Amino acid sequence: MTKVKDIYKYLDKLAPFNSAMDFDNCGLLVGDMEQDVRNVMISLDITKEVVKEASNNDIQLIISHHPIIFKPLKYINSNSVPYMLANSEISAICAHTNLDMADEGVNTCLADALELNNIHPLSIYKKEYYNKIVVFAPKEYESIIIEKMSENGAGELGDYSKCSFSSFGLGKYLCGKDSNPFIGKPNKYEITDEIKIEMICKKCDTKNVISAMKSVHPYEEPAFDVFEDKAIRYNIPLGLVGRLDKAMNSKEFAYYVKDKLKCEGVRYTEQNEKINKVAVCSGAGGDLVKDAFKCGAEAFVTGEIKHNQILEANDFNITVVDAGHFKTEDVVIERLVKMLSKKFSNVKFSKSLCFNDKIKYIS
Ligand SMILES: [Zn+2]
């Protein structure tokens, strides 16, 4: 039976929770990692209506984009969403800014929905730094150590996983009089065959990888080193920029966005006669106007933009299309349903039917 933790691990690989922005609160926010899961609902938000819909449909887990707990809670009343979830024995995993920035995340879905080509990061939120961990162990422990370290995030290199390098050598050591050596005897100098295992891991995963390695290492004092690996950097992008198949003017482009994102209406500025390069940032992305300019974008599509940011875009001669917070993020839900259904064939994933865009447009 699939458990909450299995789906959590998959999501953590897809959009690492520790890559979320500092202010954010992502991960398993309600429930139990060990809970069995048969039916999962996915929704941008978890409202009271969504919880009711879930409990009427035998849902054990809801995955949402916006966190249900953001600020520290001082009191949980029986009418609050966290209480209702716990009361209905429904777990909740929230994947917010980590999902915005993931390769298969919200911004990628937005760029794909707008059929942009040649996609690049709009801005770099942060760089991921790596360490190299070197472990010395008896040969017969090689596989289990590599396996355990991999399970905790070591050995990930682009599309490759469980990457390691092993070499053979002689370990030499004098066992102390009170020691209890796995190989050798107290007060004796020992020379033994050893394998040296090298694996990389993100700096933030180093502690977990080391304790996982120690949990299966047979030595009384596991021998290992940690070095900063300056060769590997992974940039976490904020927003994306890409090209349209054919150029269009501001009004045509606004209609294009409205059509592609199935919006009831959009707000836009009349700025450009020829739009080819487009920057996107799902949700509240108005802060990235300057980055859109630096990337040479002629248009910027986002879900929320303030008056002063619109003026800033005008100064940069960038057309702004505000397609609404909901529509710029809703694009990720179907993709999550699809990817999760493919990975967990014994679990039914569905999109919440009751949660939709709260904004209506009149003309
Ligand atoms: Zn949002």
CA-CA-CA-CA dihedral for 47, 80, 106, 130, to nearest 10: -160
Q: List the pLDDT tens digit at each of the 363 positions of the chain.
A: 999 999 999 999 899 998 899 899 999 999 999 999 999 999 999 999 999 999 999 999 999 999 999 888 899 999 999 999 999 999 999 999 999 999 999 999 999 999 999 999 999 887 788 999 999 999 999 999 999 999 999 999 877 899 999 999 999 999 999 999 999 999 999 999 999 999 999 998 999 999 999 999 999 999 999 999 988 777 788 999 999 999 999 999 999 999 999 999 999 999 888 999 999 999 999 999 999 999 999 999 999 999 999 999 999 999 999 999 999 999 999 999 999 999 999 999 999 999 999 999 987
Distance between CA 333 and CA 44 in Å, rounded?
A: 7
Domain residue extents for the chain:
4-99+329-351, 106-125+238-328, 126-234
Planar angle of CA 45, 122, 332, nearest 5 degrees: 25
Cα 61 to ligand 1 centroid, rounded to whole Å:
20
Distance 65 CA to ligand 1 centre (A): 7
C-alpha distances out from residue 183 to 138, 145, 169, 359, Å? 9, 18, 15, 70
What is the pLDDT, as a whole number, of residue 130? 93
Q: What angle do CA 283, 284, 290 make, to 5 degrees?
A: 120
- Rounded distance from Cα 283 to ligand 1 centre (Å): 4
d(CA 325, CA 328): 6
Domain 126-234: assigned CATH number = 3.30.70.120
Distance between terminal CA atoms of the chain? 51
Q: Provide the 10 A C-beta neighbour count for residue 29.
A: 19
Question: Residue 66 C-alpha to ligand 1 middle, in angstroms?
Answer: 6
Span from the CA of 25 to the centroid of ligand 1 (angstroms): 13
CATH 3.40.1390.30 fits 106-125+238-328, yes or no: yes
CA 204 / ligand 1 centre spacing (Å):
25
Q: Which CATH architecture has domain 4-99+329-351?
A: 3-Layer(aba) Sandwich (3.40)
Instruction: In whole angstroms, give the CA distance from residue 51 to residue 81.
Output: 7
Q: Model-level pTM greater than 0.75?
A: yes
The answer to whether residues 345 and 2 touch, using CB atoms and an 8 Å cutoff, is: no
Expressed in angstroms and rounded, the spacing between residue 322 Cα and the centre of ligand 1 is: 13
pLDDT on residue 18: 85
